Copies of this chain bind each other. A is one copy, B any other.
Amino acid sequence: MRLRPALTAPLLALAVAACAHAPAAAPAKALTTQEVIDASTPADWRPLDPANTLYLQLPSGMVVVELAPQFAPEHVANIQALARGHYFDGLSINRSQDNFVVQWGDPAGDEVVLRRPLGEARAALPAEFSRPAEGLAFNALPDPDGWAPQVGFAGGFAAARDPKAGKAWLTHCYGTVGAGRAAAPDSSNGSELYVVIGQSPRQLDLNITTVGRVVVGMERLSVLPRGSGPLGFYADAAQRVPILAARLATDVPEEARARIEVMRTDTATWDAYVESRRNRRDEWYVHPAGHVDVCNLSVPVRPIAAPKG
């Protein structure tokens, strides 16, 4: 009975003190993360908006990206135009840098004359490194963060907020998707995208435009062999991984769409989930951390049960 469960219990049975944001109330019964999920109601979950859901079809299977128009409206609109124009089809993943990012787009890179035309999409966009904090529903974590005055979740995305500066932005966490740029802040247009595959590179926050996050399929990206060229670019073109197709969910027949839903991040159930990650009190743990980092909170995803009929 020993050693095999090694380091296994932590993800199975996690204790929860519910009502994280109501410290004055008597603490509710400690629930495990699974119990939080089991006790959730349909209203605690949301479907992805098909217009803001991008499917990347790789040889290994599907990656589902949720786009964040509330943070980068111009970039998201451009990515939508690129997907509608089938821009990414037949392009490739060209970079895999250990503990940093996987990046895809036109392998022609700097060779401007060789680059695929953008079709209906725009070549130049403004930088969208942050948005006004005003008007953004933001469920702040009480936990301190070294990189930003405040962190939390907004519309299902890990995010940060600076009340003094009146700005909010997506935080670079595992699975965050951003738009690669050159030296000029406004040199991204969404045709070159990267995803974080390692320790949260929060130093990129406010330095680049983030456009969304991977909801399903990170394990198809994170295991790609690291590139041996500078910065993890594949030195050999044969190592590139083809993108078979990239489609918005709206452009896919309804019966072919991913049947998943994600936990909302603006509910009491969410707060209980967060607390179940902040203080793990199942028998395996001897020291509840009393803290959680915004990048250590993965938003739960689950399949939607097929309709009975």
Contacts and interface: CB of A to CB of B under 8 A. Distances in A.
Given A222-B98, A226-B223, A289-B202, A180 B7 contact: yes
A283 B184 CA distance: 9
A166 to B, nearest CB: 15
Contacts of A147: 289, 291, 293
A2 B277 contact: no
A16 B285 CA distance: 40
Contacts of A305: none
Contacts of A5: 110, 182-183
A280 B208 CA distance: 14
A182 B219 contact: no
B295 A199 contact: yes
Interface residues of A, number: 77
B199 A173 contact: yes
A273 to B, nearest CB: 14
A219 B100 CA distance: 11
26 contacts: A3-B109, A3-B182, A3-B187, A4-B109, A5-B110, A5-B183, A6-B181, A7-B178, A7-B181, A8-B230, A8-B231, A10-B204, A10-B207, A11-B231, A129-B287, A145-B146, A146-B291, A198-B222, A199-B200, A199-B296, A201-B296, A202-B291, A203-B280, A203-B296, A206-B287, A222-B222
Given A5-B182, A199-B293, 12 more contacts: A2-B112, A3-B188, A5-B110, A7-B204, A10-B204, A146-B146, A146-B292, A174-B199, A185-B286, A198-B199, A200-B296, A203-B280
